[in-house]
Amino acid sequence: MPTPPAPNPDFLRRAIALATKNVVTGRGGPFGAVITRNGEIVGEGANSVTVTNDATAHAEVVAIRAACTTLKSFTLTGCELYTSCEPCPMCLSASYWARLDRIYYACSAEDAARAGFDDAFLYAEFRKNQPDRSLPVRQLLRDEAWVSFATWIDTPNKIEY
């Protein structure tokens, strides 16, 4: 396996600047993210949860969406994420789904918790068995829904991801 490129602190500084500007301008929380490929920024974002009324509009997700648009691809293999803070569970999952090569972050989850952004509850919920979680989840219509998967399996010209 080839040695990964050295991280570029300037990209992390850009993510930090996006986070700070986001707070100063009143557009959202103190989170910024930059996605790079081959030493170039291909997407960036700042937390816009409150301004867009979108609970998924975390900086990393916004940056992933921007990078996918720029690259005209739903996968970001060959790309790196620089983020002002350690990704929350949703953003970390999105990073895996996007197939990013690596993540560099500045502040830790503990730092975020100190500022009032605590993901400890989520991590604790994920460790619980489904019936013990605080958000009730119930399966319905499994057999009817399987038709969608069966159709996927049988479709020869699908775009796999």
60 is an active site residue: yes
HEC sequence for the chain: CCCCCCCCHHHHHHHHHHHHHHHHCCCCCCCEEEEEECCEEEEEEECCHHHHCCCCCCHHHHHHHHHHHHHCCCCCCCEEEEEEECCCHHHHHHHHHHCCCEEEEEECHHHHHHCCCCCHHHHHHHHCCHHHCCCCCCCCCHHHHHHHHHHHHHCCCCCCC
Which residue is catalytic, options 40, 44, 60, 80? 60
Catalytically active residues, by annotation = 60
